[in-house]
Amino acid sequence: MPKELKKSDHARIVGTWLEIGSSMHLGANQPGSGDRRRFDADGTATITRKDGTLIKGIRFTLDESAQPRTFEWIAPWGTWTGTYEFDGDTLTTHLSPTKGFGVEMHKYKRADSAK
């Protein structure tokens, strides 16, 4: 079995990911924003916009025992819950705001050589 598949999902997500695609409310797939998401082992996350702006104060949780696997994104401007999946060095999330409606899909490709 490849070493990557033996890791927990939490260990797999740690590192920096580049957004390569998205869609809002089940609309057509769009090119990614070019923003980077950094997931840290302590459950915190940081967004780095293309212009270099850093957005901090974000937390995330994963539940790999759930079927489908669940993801929660907790940011100062709101909370989103949904599902996630890994496919090699690609991560895809499908999230809905807890105070609102619709589904956002975001696809990321690993942007570093982190574990």
64-88: pLDDT as tens digits: 999 999 999 999 999 999 999 999 9
Contact 94, 107 (CB under 8 A): no
Rounded to two decimals, the pTM is 0.88
3 state SS of 13: helix
CB-neighbour burial class of residue 84 (10 A; exposed 0-12, middle 13-18, buried 19+):
buried
CB-neighbour burial class of residue 103 (10 A; exposed 0-12, middle 13-18, buried 19+):
middle
| Residue boundaries of the structural domains of the chain | 3-105
In terms of CATH architecture, what is 3-105? Beta Barrel (2.40)
The string of pLDDT tens digits covering residues 10-21 is 999 999 999 999
